[in-house]
Structure 1
Amino acid sequence: MQLQLDGVDVRYARGRGERGAVDQVSLDLPAGRIGVLVGPSGCGKTSLLRAIAGLERLAGGSIAMEGHLLADAREGLHVAAEQRRIGMVFQDYALFPHLSVADNVAYGLHHMPRAQRAERVRRVLDLLGLADAAARAPHRLSGGQQQRVSLARSLAPSPRLLLLDEPFSSLDPDLRERLAQDVRSILREHGTTALVVTHDQFEAFALGDSVGVMNHGRLEQWADSYTVYHRPATRFVAGFIGQGVFAPARIVSNGDGRLVQTPLSTLHQAVAPPDDPEGSCEVLLRADDVVHDDQSPVKARVERKIFRGAEFLYTLRLGSGEQVLALVPSHHDHAVGEWIGIRPDIGHVVTFAHPAQT
């Protein structure tokens, strides 16, 4: 089912006034697709999810599925949560400890005849690789298995939309990555429209067909992962996603278009924002935009280094004083204080006005 949000506001009472948690959020999530909301703590991700589920009333805007309104602040419409046919998966699993895995999954299927209910539970457990655990108690399962049971229970009633709130945050990193990939495959196979909240941008990229970056209650960008990373819509998105720095630069024009003069070199700006004026600005330099090259005339001193197995993340200081980051294969093991050659390798030049100018 397609999910449509138009100008959604959520506010909470605070003393004698109100505190805005979600501010004018609009997005469109097509049927069968997976959307992910990412952002810092307190940015409004979970409040937005709760509003979609029907657990919070709207202070403004509307929520619809396939064009049918679930909530409309202007009309005073609020369809109760239990009538929305929306499933929700929480980070703490919320399983019933006194029920078996099968009975947990069957909990929301009491309206079905017994034989149909049993068949539905069997099919969902088989889909999630839990057929052998049907009779076991939840506490006898691993964390990853318990999260699968929680997902199975939410999928069993065939919800029109599935909401997942930090579903993997309590798992170790390796298991979290594997389970995220499995969940994506399961949701796509099941044809389920889903919206996921996470604080982990790598998880967002692994799961989402569309990724939304939230900040102070506002949705700063809603696009595919590639666009969010390579074409950040705002300075906040550019700083929050990936690892990089904002370096001083200058935009100038020539016969072939615009050039961006940076501390590393002069770059051709293939796609410039329409309101991007000539003159001083800042250029986004991500760690993967800076390449180690012993032959380069541009040198930088290693200030810090973080070993990541296959690569080092170097923090470097140019002779002109600017700081940059670089991902370097780990067989290039340079000492702190050493000067190394670097050059830019940038496919997408992204510039922003200086903060003082915005």
Structure 2
Amino acid sequence: MPTNNADLHCEISQQSPIPLTAKFSCKAGEVLAVVGPSGGGKTTLLRMIAGLSSSEQGKIECGGKTWFDDEQHIHLSPQQRHIGYVPQHFGLFPHLTALENVISGLDHIPKIERKARALDWLERVNLHGLPARLPAQLSGGQRQRVALARALAREPSVLLLDEPFSAVDRETRERLYMELARLKSQLSIPVVMVTHDMNEALLLADKMILISQGKMLQQGKPFEVLSHPCNETVARQMGLRNIFNAEVSGRDVDANITWLKMGEQIIASDSAPELVVGQQVRWVIPNQGIRFNAITSGRLCRSINKLDIVIESMLIMGESVRVKARMADVDEVFNMDIPSHLAEKLSLKSGLATTIALKSEQVHILES
């Protein structure tokens, strides 16, 4: 793989046929997840990077080379950009073997070198022994690996993945996650991955951008976006369910703390945005910021945010339990997913009155 600086920079804007505005960069060796609901503009953005379509306005650069510039009337073809592209349903030629499919992407190198290069990449994605099979003779996960090998064998300047794991079962998806994570360490190119699966982005991406209805809502490291969504729209798109009303009861700018009041309960947030005492706000906390920690034996984790709750319902979902609980003196409901073994250990059940702790560094006040 090329070791030179091959960062991707993209700034595009258009009103038709699909409104889309985005500005971001992806460093070499970095995985950028583009996340959002269907019809939000994710695939359109990927096609613009690939050169399969162009924006009304903007500029796309990679490795210091301009791929698209509406003012300069530059629009390089996909071949000129030398991208690796894995479409949603693999895009393999059904009449070609796995080996031939990979070779089909290597027309940029001498013919004599193509077979060895293709075999090497099939080996790298753990498909040794299967080069002579047709796509119909391969499982979904194996077809996905062939598509990935074909894209990477090109030694592309950028790897583009469009919902790369959506067409395979969960077990295969988990194995492919591991495969991509392993390959990522070998790649010194930007990798842009479109997905609607938030867990996928949290697991694989170094950075993510949230897109909805053609607009970029927020960008940053996945866990930072999850912990500090800029507004309620982002919080809900991230799948956060614990969003509440509160009143600002105090601020300590020096200690970087804001005190929030819910009923008679005071909650501390490790942040001090420009708010005034008495102001009504919305705040959010991710699932991992809520702790059931050996409550039954009285060893709740050290926290200034301890809330009395009553468990309303418990829904077993495989290895985890979805717990719905209501605060004792406020009409607010917490939704929590906890491991099944912990729920059993703590003897949690419907109707139980107990206590939870909220991590103050994850109590995040939303912009109004």
TM-score between the two structures when normalised by the length of structure 1: 0.88
Contact 1:37–1:214 (CA under 8 A) maintained in structure 2: yes
Residue 124 (structure 2) aligned to one of 102, 116, 127: 127
Contact 2:269–2:360 (CA under 8 A) maintained in structure 1: no
Matches within 5 A, 1:71-150: 71-150=68-147
CA distance 1:109–1:285, change in 2 (3 Å): closer
Q: Give the RMSD, CA atoms, in angstroms.
A: 2.2
Give the aligned partner of residue 7 of structure 2: 2
Secondary structure class of the residue paired with 2:284: strand
Separation in 1 of the partners of 2:103 and 2:156?
Answer: 14
> 1:262 Cα deviation (Å)?
4.1
> 1:244 Cα deviation (Å)?
2.7
> 1:256 Cα deviation (Å)?
4.4
Give the aligned partner of residue 304 of structure 1: 313
> 1:55 Cα deviation (Å)?
1.3
Contact 2:310–2:327 (CA under 8 A) maintained in structure 1: yes
Separation in 2 of the partners of 1:198 and 1:245?
Answer: 23
Q: Could you give the per-residue CA deviations for residues 124-168 of structure 1, whole angstroms, max 9, x where no partner exists? A: 111111121111111111111110000111111111001000010
Secondary structure class of the residue paired with 1:163: strand
Unaligned runs of 5+ in 1: 14-18
Separation in 1 of the partners of 2:255 and 2:93?
Answer: 66
Separation in 2 of the partners of 1:71 and 1:298?
Answer: 54
Give the aligned partner of residue 303 of structure 2: none
Paired residues, what number?
345
Residue 325 (structure 1) aligned to one of 319, 331, 335: 335
Contact 2:285–2:362 (CA under 8 A) maintained in structure 1: no
Separation in 1 of the partners of 2:187 and 2:27?
Answer: 15
Residue 66 (structure 2) aligned to one of 69, 73, 78: 69
Separation in 1 of the partners of 2:139 and 2:229?
Answer: 38
- The amino acid of 2:361's aligned partner reads G
| Alignment partner of 1:37 is 2:34 | yes
> 1:248 Cα deviation (Å)?
1.4
Contact 1:138–1:146 (CA under 8 A) maintained in structure 2: yes
Q: Could you give the per-residue CA deviations for residues 200-235 of structure 1, whole angstroms, max 9, x where no partner exists? A: 011111211111111221222221122112222333
Contact 1:307–1:330 (CA under 8 A) maintained in structure 2: no
- The amino acid of 2:332's aligned partner reads E
Give the aligned partner of residue 16 of structure 1: none
Contact 1:286–1:325 (CA under 8 A) maintained in structure 2: no
Give the aligned partner of residue 3 of structure 2: none
Deviant stretches of 4+, over 6 Å: none
- The amino acid of 1:345's aligned partner reads K
Q: Could you give the per-residue CA deviations for residues 176-212 of structure 1, whole angstroms, max 9, x where no partner exists? A: 1220221122133132321000010111112111111
Residue 187 (structure 1) aligned to one of 184, 189, 208: 184
- The amino acid of 1:299's aligned partner reads D
CA distance 1:181–1:234, change in 2 (3 Å): farther
Separation in 1 of the partners of 2:8 and 2:275?
Answer: 34
Contact 1:53–1:86 (CA under 8 A) maintained in structure 2: yes
Contact 1:101–1:133 (CA under 8 A) maintained in structure 2: yes
- The amino acid of 2:310's aligned partner reads R
Secondary structure class of the residue paired with 2:55: coil
Unaligned runs of 5+ in 2: 1-5, 301-305
CA distance 1:287–1:227, change in 2 (3 Å): closer
Q: Could you give the per-residue CA deviations for residues 91-127 of structure 1, whole angstroms, max 9, x where no partner exists? A: 2111111111110000022343333111111211111
- The amino acid of 2:201's aligned partner reads A
| Alignment partner of 1:348 is 2:356 | no
Separation in 2 of the partners of 1:90 and 1:348?
Answer: 37
> 1:337 Cα deviation (Å)?
4.1
Once structures 1 and 2 are overlaid, which stretch shifts more, 313-322 or 99-108? Answer: 313-322
- The amino acid of 1:330's aligned partner reads A
CA distance 1:333–1:60, change in 2 (3 Å): farther
- The amino acid of 2:335's aligned partner reads L
- The amino acid of 1:12's aligned partner reads S
Residue 16 (structure 2) aligned to one of 12, 16, 22: 12
Give the aligned partner of residue 280 of structure 2: 280
Residue 160 (structure 1) aligned to one of 140, 153, 157: 157
- The amino acid of 1:36's aligned partner reads A
- The amino acid of 1:62's aligned partner reads K
Q: Could you give the per-residue CA deviations for residues 301-325 of structure 1, whole angstroms, max 9, x where no partner exists? A: 3333222344322112223211112
Separation in 1 of the partners of 2:181 and 2:351?
Answer: 44
Separation in 1 of the partners of 2:108 and 2:235?
Answer: 48
Contact 1:58–1:72 (CA under 8 A) maintained in structure 2: no
Separation in 2 of the partners of 1:326 and 1:265?
Answer: 19
> 1:68 Cα deviation (Å)?
1.8
Separation in 2 of the partners of 1:177 and 1:156?
Answer: 23
Residue 208 (structure 1) aligned to one of 201, 205, 209: 205
CA distance 1:59–1:301, change in 2 (3 Å): same
